[in-house]
A = this chain, B = another copy of it.
Amino acid sequence: MSSQTGKILKVSVFGQSHSECIGAVIDGIPAGEAVDTDKILTFMKRRSPGNNSWSTGRKEADIPRIVSGVVDGVTCGSPITVIIENKDTRSSDYDDLKYIPRPSHSDYPAFIKYGEAHDIRGGGHFSGRLTAPLCFAGALCMQILERMGINIGAHISSVGSVDDTAFDNVDLNIDELKSAAKKQFPAIDDTAADKMIELIENAREKGDSVGGTVECGVLGVPAGIGEPMFDGIENRLAAALFGIPAVKGIEFGMGFESGRLYGSENNDGYYFDGEKVKTFTNNSGGIAGGISTGMPLIFRLAFKPTPSIALPQRSVDLRTMKNTELIIHGRHDPCIVPRAVPCVEAVTAITLLDLIYEDKKYGHC
């Protein structure tokens, strides 16, 4: 079992890169929620490969078809299913890969797990393409969260050695939160963005790829959301976000930096701002004991460089059991990070809405 996230709100993702369709079943959204499909399409477009230097050449219209659960633009309470057809597939590109695994890709471990029957075409079920239905589900959840006054925004915080401005983790407002989302290249600082784009183009020209990080913020989460121990916000977000291909790390608030600090530096003192309890600093990233404090949620994700590069690499031939050199053909993103930004927002939305539904028995939302 595998491709499902959530406890009260369950999202099951299906499909392979080159199967007839990819899609998702979203089970647990109450009846009566309006579904703005235009807004969903706009969101999904942020993930689609564009006519730019940092995306794959594969073109998919990615028109989601809602085949159940929504009637006249409103959820009816039964599972919502979305289907996206796969059209621009070139399976012949993958003929040799089944036996000559691409380094740092799922090819080899998946071959061991699934054997000859594994669908390696386009990365199969492990393809970044599977984030399209995730973005559909996330865009839907974001609409429901927004009606609760909860907003999510992410941006590229670094590509290679180039850093973007970080979110103000204490006074983050919705304009700052959403500023990157509107841009074709989702970084806050335009100068940094230009440098990042240059870095990516250089990598692409060399047949190489480059990694980066994404920072995500959430405004409006009331204090008290999250369950103790293994179902805290950190546990659940981490469990879901590692479902986005290429994620190799996650940190909340100060994260790894907090390991270098003293308690007197790291602790977030409380004060009353009118009737609302706030903290002077927000090194916790809005989460203490796994539960929201009412301050902005802030976390960062590390993305490794796209493993598919055009340069020759060392691999093995699993048929002959000999070492060999591998040249990967096909169309790949020289940097996955720009397109990962909406994916991070989407998975965050799904996970938070699930935790909010779970909290309903306490009645905080």
CB-CB under 8 A from A363, the residues of chain B are 360
A185 within 8 A of B: no
Q: Which residue of B lies closest to A109 (CB)?
A: B291
Complex-state Cα separation, A33 to B270, whole angstroms: 29
Which of A114-122, A146-154, A174-182 contacts its partner?
Answer: A114-122
Mark A89-107 against chain B: 1 for CB-CB distance below 8 A, else 0. 0000000000001011111
Partner of A109, one of B22, B125, B293: B293
Complex-state Cα separation, A137 to B82, whole angstroms: 19
A338 within 8 A of B: no
- Within A11-51, the residues touching B (CB, 8 Å) are 12-16, 19-23, 25, 27-28, 30-32
CB-CB under 8 A from A358, the residues of chain B are 1, 8
- Within A307-338, the residues touching B (CB, 8 Å) are 307-309, 311, 313-316, 318, 321-323
Q: From residue A123, how far is it (CB to closest CB) to chain B in Å?
A: 8
Q: B251 to A249, Cβ gap below 8 A? A: yes
Q: A20 to B110, Cβ gap below 8 A? A: no
Q: B251 to A242, Cβ gap below 8 A? A: no
Which of A165-173, A186-194, A282-290 contacts its partner?
Answer: A282-290
CB-CB under 8 A from A228, the residues of chain B are 2-3, 78, 125-126
CB-CB under 8 A from A130, the residues of chain B are 229
Mark A189-229 against chain B: 1 for CB-CB distance below 8 A, else 0. 00000000000000100101111110000000011101111
Complex-state Cα separation, A253 to B103, whole angstroms: 14
Partner of A264, one of B232, B260, B309: B309
Partner of A14, one of B69, B213, B359: B69
CB-CB under 8 A from A113, the residues of chain B are 31, 77, 223-224, 226, 291, 359, 362, 364
Q: From residue A17, how far is it (CB to closest CB) to chain B in Å?
A: 10
Complex copy number for this chain: 4
Q: A258 to B290, Cβ gap below 8 A? A: no
Q: A15 to B211, Cβ gap below 8 A? A: no
Q: Which residue of B lies closest to A226 (CB)?
A: B109
Q: B258 to A251, Cβ gap below 8 A? A: no
Complex-state Cα separation, A219 to B314, whole angstroms: 24
CB-CB under 8 A from A302, the residues of chain B are 251, 255-259
Complex-state Cα separation, A212 to B15, whole angstroms: 40
A352 within 8 A of B: no
Q: B114 to A315, Cβ gap below 8 A? A: no
- Within A73-93, the residues touching B (CB, 8 Å) are 74-81, 83
Listed from nearest, the 5 A-B pairs whose CB atoms lie closest are A106-B289, A249-B251, A269-B314, A78-B125, A109-B291
